[in-house]
Structure 1
């Protein structure tokens, strides 16, 4: 009988791991489908692949009616957050290709988690380069523990979160440099060292974290006002902000 499964693959330019604690053969087979979905998303949505649907859309080679339902959904999400942030979050910068990666990663990994759930998995953690979806508990009465990395000291944690059914995502410059652009200025975002968001799903957590980081310090209160989102942030003056409902581990 299966006794849990752990698997890591490099996909979408980062390591994605699945830690499945269910003793269920059908759930184990679903891990194959989940990784296949992530590889499919990478082929279809990568702005770095000239033949991807995203790249073809960015070059205006596809009519609106020819877009897949998935890409239409992603574009709608991007447009929603662009409006909500007053343009700080954007997928269309001057002299840059159309790039919806800030939405696609969280959306894709959330989709993989939902495949596991639909196959009967109830106790698992999917980790995509530090952005995490959890379900159930790894052990009875024990939540999944997710560390928030210190933005300037990689060997330290700012806090540890306790999650049962939910997601957490962090935006910062410590891994990829100043890659998040404030669409209002066209320059790298300023004001925050890092911001971590918990939400019921990774689509929301990842996109809100990126959007809030693009907004700078004002993004903290904006993120805290988003439905079902909790916030942990460190600003450029090294001040720490934590929303009251943040699930800090004890």
Structure 2
């Protein structure tokens, strides 16, 4: 199965492999399709509830002061707790409440939500899949090859990696310009051109990539020092920095 939907402002694709579920061959395609329905429904729900661009979302209402802490859903509490954790661990570089910009937890929500969608697939018995949210990927069941776009050439890749039962996320300036801000200064982060993190979950990979990118050059070592994380980065001087365990495809 190969399915694509446009959610959260980006294409999200799901590709499943042979023998997608644990129940044998008969009915596997139908079971995988039903699991995909649940995963994509969850992602649409997240977009409706947590988008800062929807005035009726829970995040927008919280940002306007219309909700108290006791009125928040458990999911939003979890997301905000994760945001605070990464804010502290990055020394303030990861910040979802920048002055003049309101509450915007998108840097946490995407990876967290897509990882939850992957967990739904696994719970429904889908054992082999690649879930790709605009280049941030969760894989399971077999090795999947993931290309990382060159930060200055849209028609080229700067590396190709291979992951099994893990996740990869990239933060950079090439798609949306200077959209990642260093919470310590309030200014756009410009010390790196791109930074890719491989981690056990997309929650960890995406948040670590964003936080490290916001930190600039010092973020490479910070990300590399996190348990289970491997890093590939291109700095502002176009130097390539890579941890020894980064899973480059053969």
**TM-score when normalising by structure 1:** 0.95
Deviations 1:66-123 (A, max 9, x none): 1000000000000011111111110001111100000000011111111110010110
CA distance in 2, matches of 1:227, 1:28: 34
Equivalent position to 1:109, from 85, 108, 114: 114
Query: Which residue of structure 2 lines up, in the alignment, with residue 151 of structure 1?
Result: 151
Deviations 1:41-71 (A, max 9, x none): 0000000011100011111211111100000
Note the aligned Cα RMSD (angstroms). Answer: 0.8
Query: Which residue of structure 2 lines up, in the alignment, with residue 32 of structure 1?
Result: 37
Query: Which residue of structure 2 lines up, in the alignment, with residue 177 of structure 1?
Result: 177
Query: Which residue of structure 2 lines up, in the alignment, with residue 246 of structure 1?
Result: 246
- Kindly tell me the number of residue pairs found equivalent between the two proteins: 241
Cα drift, residue 132 of structure 1: 0.4
**Equivalences for 1:14-29 in 2 at 5 Å?**
14-21=10-17, 22=20, 24=28, 25-29=30-34
Query: Which residue of structure 2 lines up, in the alignment, with residue 84 of structure 1?
Result: 89
Give ranges in structure 2 of 5+ residues lacking alignment: none
Cα drift, residue 27 of structure 1: 2.5
> Which secondary structure state, in structure 1, belongs to the residue aligned with residue 139 of structure 2?
strand
Deviations 1:177-202 (A, max 9, x none): 10001111111102100000000110
> Which secondary structure state, in structure 2, belongs to the residue aligned with residue 161 of structure 1?
strand
Greater Cα shift, 18-27 or 95-104:
18-27
Deviations 1:111-157 (A, max 9, x none): 111111001011000000000000012xxxxx200011110011111
Equivalent position to 1:58, from 63, 81, 86: 63
Cα drift, residue 9 of structure 1: 0.3
CA distance in 1, matches of 2:227, 2:43: 27
CA distance in 2, matches of 1:13, 1:153: 22
CA distance in 1, matches of 2:86, 2:38: 30
CA distance in 1, matches of 2:33, 2:114: 17
CA contact (8 A) 2:82 2:108 kept: yes
CA contact (8 A) 2:137 2:168 kept: yes
CA distance in 2, matches of 1:48, 1:185: 24
CA contact (8 A) 2:87 2:95 kept: yes
Equivalent position to 1:10, from 6, 12, 21: 6
Equivalent position to 2:79, from 70, 74, 80: 74
Cα drift, residue 28 of structure 1: 2.2
**TM-score when normalising by structure 2:** 0.95
Equivalent position to 1:126, from 105, 122, 131: 131
CA distance in 2, matches of 1:20, 1:249: 20
Give ranges in structure 1 of 5+ residues lacking alignment: 138-142
Query: Which residue of structure 2 lines up, in the alignment, with residue 166 of structure 1?
Result: 166
Query: Which residue of structure 2 lines up, in the alignment, with residue 196 of structure 1?
Result: 196
